Amino acid sequence: MKYFMIAILTWASLLSHAEGEHFASVGPITALGQLESSHNLNMRPHLRPFDIRRWQTKAGTSVMFVRADDVPMLDMRVVFNAGAARDADQPGLAYTLSNMMFQGTEKQTAAEIAATFERMGAQFSSSSARDMALVELRTLTDPQYMDAVLQEFTLAATQPKFREEDFQRVRNQELVGLKQMLQSPGAQATKLFWSTLYAHSPYATLPQGDLPSLQQMKPADIEAFFRRYYNAHNAILVMVGAIDEAKARSISETFTASLPEGVAAPALPDQLPLAKAENVHLEFPSEQTHILMGGLGIRRDNPDYYALSVGNEILGGGGFSSWLTREIRVKRGYSYSVASYFIPMQATGPWMISMQTRNDQTQAALQVTHDVIDAFLKEGPTAAELQETKDQVVGGYPLSLASNYSILGNLAAMGFYHLPADFLEHYPDAIEAVTLAQVKDAMKRHVRQDTWVTVTVGLTTAKHDTPPQP
Amino acid sequence: MKYFMIAILTWASLLSHAEGEHFASVGPITALGQLESSHNLNMRPHLRPFDIRRWQTKAGTSVMFVRADDVPMLDMRVVFNAGAARDADQPGLAYTLSNMMFQGTEKQTAAEIAATFERMGAQFSSSSARDMALVELRTLTDPQYMDAVLQEFTLAATQPKFREEDFQRVRNQELVGLKQMLQSPGAQATKLFWSTLYAHSPYATLPQGDLPSLQQMKPADIEAFFRRYYNAHNAILVMVGAIDEAKARSISETFTASLPEGVAAPALPDQLPLAKAENVHLEFPSEQTHILMGGLGIRRDNPDYYALSVGNEILGGGGFSSWLTREIRVKRGYSYSVASYFIPMQATGPWMISMQTRNDQTQAALQVTHDVIDAFLKEGPTAAELQETKDQVVGGYPLSLASNYSILGNLAAMGFYHLPADFLEHYPDAIEAVTLAQVKDAMKRHVRQDTWVTVTVGLTTAKHDTPPQP
């Protein structure tokens, strides 16, 4: 599917990838009840208990492993605490390194690496976001393939070669991509929102970097960042698949032994809320004004996580029946989509609302949004709304763990954000336990419009506030 | 890798996916010589002869199959002659149908379909471009999985349910995506280029459609388009994998028996060259001006294909040493990337050049481009350049067929564009046989600057033609 995937962060994506920006999921999450197709395969998703095995390799890497024998495949993910938050004064560095992964080893080019994996029926990828950098592998577990694939993967991921010519090509693509991206009002709004809300803290910049920084970057910088952050003490390794624990242990030892031992990245400095609300407008000749508004939310380990998840879902989550969608889209047609979301991270991530609207409706849309939030914080959802949302979240939960890959994502988030060992089993109960009072209280404490950043990118028009249509 | 992939169309992508727009590949294609990693796996790409089995199913679908036992997987692609060129007066219809595929069946939702395949270790996708619409499957060949997967895939791909709510969601995403896309100068340039060059012919519109058309679209339109074009006589089915021919035949019979019999789509009307060159400028407040220039190229079955491939590669193909890159990027720094490419299709596709440059360098960049082309058409490449390019193309050819998936893509293109049965084996010889005279002659006949469309999207600045720097 190649249509533009819109970042509607549902509870499922918040759960599996707390670093939500790049990992948003789309679409309704519904119950497994009707699922009849694989009745003859005995492949029902195993819900609980999750038998998560944990250990630490000799090199010092934390490992989580779930055995899943249904399909003869292994999924493996290595998470490094090496996202854009580590860029320091070189915005785009983590991102560029991630793009340089699997571009070459001493003996192979990028095309050869890709062809090698493809011929062995294996897939690999690298990616990064503000908090994390990932390398991933999916392989058949038949030893005829797996052992060679793992050898290749270990080599390619731990002994990469950052050749000048590959660097030039990758950087060139990034520059073109960044220039094109920055010509869109949406990207400008994103850039302004994060830079205003986070000032000089590590989340202030675009993970994709900026032009001067990319232009000055050298392969030696990539090399240094790799040596500093892609190490055994700064990594978490997760595996889900049809191997036994002994094999999983052996794989984890081999892989992490190839990494430099290194040291874990230090904790990120946190960001204080702004002293007062700030409005930032960028005059941009687009038909639609892009709006991003919001403030600091929570860190991933905040105990308000469940109440906020439910509250956010009702206020502006994925469904068509959210308060914001009802008022902004359905009743007034201001925007095709409006969504609110948390991005809980290592340091305090944002809680924000995004929409686009016709330039002349910008002020009206902002006003309605504030009114909806005011009403929500005052009245809160109804008991029926609360129950419906909890049912939907809990009912859809099994499907969010229906595949090895989704379990892998959850394990990685659990490991990276230090969630409790029973997080997966506990999740539905924790959601079910959320009360109306908790939702109202948590939302009131965390949704603080008086310290918000409101970014508008579009054309200023005469402010004729369109009257709300019933 | 999630950086923006730039559409540098190399010969390899032209070869495997003649409908190049959406299928561009990136990066150097190099020889297999150094590939040492899988020496113990007996997985060398089998180059020749390709034992392509062909048959027609009872339902009337042409099938191509290559047995590849190296990995216990099967790749399958169904190509429908149902791309955006069939949109008629509803731009975006083929695209929307493609996005609606795998969104549901009578009994399953999109999320359930996705979870079902994932749990069985299978992958599916749908996509579309101007000429083609594809549905694809990769499955393990162990009958324990494959039979159930094929049953699911056949059901999901041939009996889709286009529910109103899914349609609303998909269309909504498309609208948001289209609006965002059209705010970028690059997309505006693309839209203007195709609409100007193709006037009222089937390639005139954006495959993504336009806002009014999307807004008026109904699930019934999707349903009608599906019934009309996703049928056995309008499809080609290709398979590569570890099954025997009997199994392949049985799979093809089962799948195509589930399709309506239908009729093949009629040939597309062709487009005449413009009477004279046309310049189209869109004033757009971007720092960079996006330039697309070019005219009609060739249909996929044109015998000049080989000479033009080589000629285009030298003039403006992927490498850093192309004439255009040398003059535009290396010598003058006008653009981070400049590329020329053919998009040979069912009807005559374009030959075009794309670049972005600082607004005040636009005229200079256009002038240099014309000068380079003039020089190329007059002098042609040197014998050394020709040989080097042919060596590079022929040397890299094995790698472009190194995986089952790439073979699949080539088979699909062969079937769809009616290429000769020995196309794959013949390709390196055909490239090797291209002479200097043929390159010059073919380029001269097909690269006709006097009937070109030149689209510039950016800010007009005082025309101080930057003098070329040595």
pLDDT at A359 over 60: yes
Q: For residue A47, what pLDDT is reported?
A: 55
- Backbone phi, then psi, for A409, in 5-degree steps? -60, -40
By CA distance, what is A3's nearest residue in B? B174
Whole-angstrom distance, CA of residue A86 vs CA of residue B388: 43
User: Would an 8 Å CB–CB cutoff place A187 in contact with chain B?
Assistant: no
Under an 8 A CB cutoff, do B115 and A402 touch? Answer: yes
Whole-angstrom distance, CA of residue B189 vs CA of residue B307: 28
CB B256 within 8 A of CB B232: yes
Q: For residue B3, what pLDDT is reported?
A: 26
Residue range A186-201: mean pLDDT, rounded: 94
Full set of structural domains in chain A with CATH = 11-24+51-257 (3.30.830.10), 278-458 (3.30.830.10)
Whole-angstrom distance, CA of residue B304 vs CA of residue B309: 8
Q: For residue B200, what pLDDT is reported?
A: 80
Residue range B143-157: mean pLDDT, rounded: 96
Q: Specify burial of residue B117 (Cβ count, 10 A radius: 0-12, 13-18, 19+).
A: buried
User: Would an 8 Å CB–CB cutoff place A184 in contact with chain B?
Assistant: yes
Whole-angstrom distance, CA of residue A401 vs CA of residue A395: 12
Q: For residue B47, what pLDDT is reported?
A: 55
The β-bridge partners of A56 are: A62
Q: For residue A462, what pLDDT is reported?
A: 58
pLDDT at A228 over 50: yes
- Backbone phi, then psi, for B224, in 5-degree steps? -65, -40
Under an 8 A CB cutoff, do B126 and A1 touch? Answer: yes
User: Would an 8 Å CB–CB cutoff place A399 in contact with chain B?
Assistant: yes
pLDDT, tens digit, 9 for 90 and up, residues B313-355: 999 986 778 999 999 999 999 998 899 999 999 999 999 999 9
- Chain A residues inside the 8 Å CB shell of B208: 3
pLDDT, tens digit, 9 for 90 and up, residues A231-256: 999 999 999 999 999 999 999 999 99
- Chain B residues inside the 8 Å CB shell of A170: 3
Q: For residue B153, what pLDDT is reported?
A: 97
Residue type, B25: S
Range among A457-461, B384-388, B457-461 with highest mean pLDDT value: B384-388
By CA distance, what is A181's nearest residue in B? B184
Look at A31-40, A335-344, B274-283 and tell me which has the smallest mean pLDDT. Answer: A31-40
Q: For residue A5, what pLDDT is reported?
A: 26
pLDDT, tens digit, 9 for 90 and up, residues A406-445: 999 999 999 999 999 899 989 999 999 999 999 999 999 9
ipTM of the complex: 0.73
CA angle A91, B335, B354 (to 5 degrees): 115
CB environment A14-53: b (16+ within 10 A), e (fewer): bbbbbbbbebbbbbbbbbbeebebbeebebebeeeebebe
Confidence of residue B399 (pLDDT cuts 50, 70, 90): confident
A57: tokens are 């390799």
User: Would an 8 Å CB–CB cutoff place B152 in contact with chain A?
Assistant: yes
- Backbone phi, then psi, for A285, in 5-degree steps? -80, 60
A438: tokens are 């908790």
Q: For residue B403, what pLDDT is reported?
A: 87
Under an 8 A CB cutoff, do B173 and A6 touch? Answer: yes
pLDDT at B34 over 70: no
pLDDT at A20 over 50: no
Q: For residue A320, what pLDDT is reported?
A: 75
Whole-angstrom distance, CA of residue B322 vs CA of residue B382: 12
Under an 8 A CB cutoff, do A177 and B26 touch? Answer: no
**Alpha carbon of B438: minimum distance to chain A alpha carbons (Å):** 30
Strand pairing report for A278-283 and A350-358: unpaired
pLDDT at A289 over 60: yes
Residue range A322-330: mean pLDDT, rounded: 94
Q: How distant is the alpha carbon of residue A18 from its chain centre?
A: 5
Report the run of H or E that residue A53 belongs to, with start and end.
strand A53-56
Under an 8 A CB cutoff, do B399 and A115 touch? Answer: yes
Beta-carbon contacts below 8 Å between A and B: 233
User: Would an 8 Å CB–CB cutoff place B336 in contact with chain A?
Assistant: yes
Taking residue B384's Cβ as centre, other Cβ atoms within 10 Å add up to: 8
pLDDT at A38 over 70: no
Strand pairing report for A453-458 and A278-283: parallel
Identify the CA nearest to B393 among candidates B444, B319, B325: B319
pLDDT at B466 over 70: no
Residue whose structure tokens are 């989580």: A64
Q: For residue A4, what pLDDT is reported?
A: 26
Using CB atoms, pick whichever of A71, A102, A183 lies closest to residue B286.
A183
Under an 8 A CB cutoff, do B336 and A175 touch? Answer: yes
Strand pairing report for A73-80 and A62-67: unpaired
User: Would an 8 Å CB–CB cutoff place B39 in contact with chain A?
Assistant: no
pLDDT, tens digit, 9 for 90 and up, residues A57-102: 999 999 999 999 989 999 999 999 999 999 999 999 999 999 999 9
Residue range B428-445: mean pLDDT, rounded: 96
- Chain B residues inside the 8 Å CB shell of A29: 111
The residue that leads in pLDDT, B70 or B38, is B70
Report the run of H or E that residue A235 belongs to, with start and end.
strand A235-241
Residue range A6-15: mean pLDDT, rounded: 28
- Chain A residues inside the 8 Å CB shell of B74: none
**Alpha carbon of B276: minimum distance to chain A alpha carbons (Å):** 31
Residue range A167-175: mean pLDDT, rounded: 93
**Alpha carbon of A272: minimum distance to chain B alpha carbons (Å):** 31
Using CB atoms, pick whichever of B99, B140, B285 lies closest to residue A3.
B99
CB A268 within 8 A of CB A101: no
Using CB atoms, pick whichever of A32, A110, A179 lies closest to residue B288.
A179
pLDDT at A124 over 50: yes
3-state helix, strand, coil in chain A (%, to 5): 45, 15, 40
Confidence of residue A49 (pLDDT cuts 50, 70, 90): confident
Under an 8 A CB cutoff, do A405 and B118 touch? Answer: yes
Q: How distant is the alpha carbon of residue B179 from its chain centre?
A: 23
CB A356 within 8 A of CB A290: yes
Q: For residue A287, what pLDDT is reported?
A: 81
User: Would an 8 Å CB–CB cutoff place B28 in contact with chain A?
Assistant: yes
- Chain A residues inside the 8 Å CB shell of B185: 183
Q: For residue A208, what pLDDT is reported?
A: 96
CB B98 within 8 A of CB B133: yes
pLDDT at A470 over 90: no
Range among A252-261, A420-429, B391-400, B417-426 with highest mean pLDDT value: A252-261
Q: What is the mean pLDDT of chain A?
A: 87
Whole-angstrom distance, CA of residue A229 vs CA of residue A202: 15
pLDDT at A17 over 90: no
**Alpha carbon of A286: minimum distance to chain B alpha carbons (Å):** 6
Strand pairing report for B235-241 and B73-80: antiparallel
Q: Specify burial of residue B425 (Cβ count, 10 A radius: 0-12, 13-18, 19+).
A: middle
User: Would an 8 Å CB–CB cutoff place A159 in contact with chain B?
Assistant: no
Distance between start and end Cα atoms, chain A: 36
pLDDT at B21 over 70: no
Q: What is the mean pLDDT of chain B?
A: 87
Identify the CA nearest to B80 among candidates B258, B232, B267: B232
pLDDT at A457 over 50: yes
**Alpha carbon of A182: minimum distance to chain B alpha carbons (Å):** 9
Whole-angstrom distance, CA of residue A399 vs CA of residue A217: 43
Identify the CA nearest to B295 among candidates B419, B443, B464: B443
Query: Rounded to the nearest 10 degrees, what angle do helices A423-432 and A383-400 cross at?
Result: 160
pLDDT at A52 over 70: yes
Look at A454-458, B36-40, B231-235 and tell me which has the smallest mean pLDDT. Answer: B36-40
Whole-angstrom distance, CA of residue A380 vs CA of residue A391: 18
CB A7 within 8 A of CB A21: yes
Identify the CA nearest to A64 among candidates A219, A221, A251, A228: A251
- Chain B residues inside the 8 Å CB shell of A125: 1
Using DSSP, state whether B137 is helix, strand or coil: strand
Q: For residue B462, what pLDDT is reported?
A: 58
Q: For residue B48, what pLDDT is reported?
A: 55
By CA distance, what is B134's nearest residue in A? A1
The residue that leads in pLDDT, B48 or A153, is A153
CB environment B85-95: b (16+ within 10 A), e (fewer): bbbeebbbbbb
User: Would an 8 Å CB–CB cutoff place B147 in contact with chain A?
Assistant: no
pLDDT at A51 over 60: yes
Under an 8 A CB cutoff, do A27 and B179 touch? Answer: no
Interface of B with A in 281-300 (CB under 8 A): 284-288
Alpha-carbon dihedral sign for residues A272, A278, A283, A289: positive
pLDDT, tens digit, 9 for 90 and up, residues B65-101: 999 998 999 999 999 999 999 999 999 999 999 999 9
Using DSSP, state whether A380 is helix, strand or coil: coil
Q: For residue A159, what pLDDT is reported?
A: 96
- Chain A residues inside the 8 Å CB shell of B284: 285
Q: For residue A321, what pLDDT is reported?
A: 85
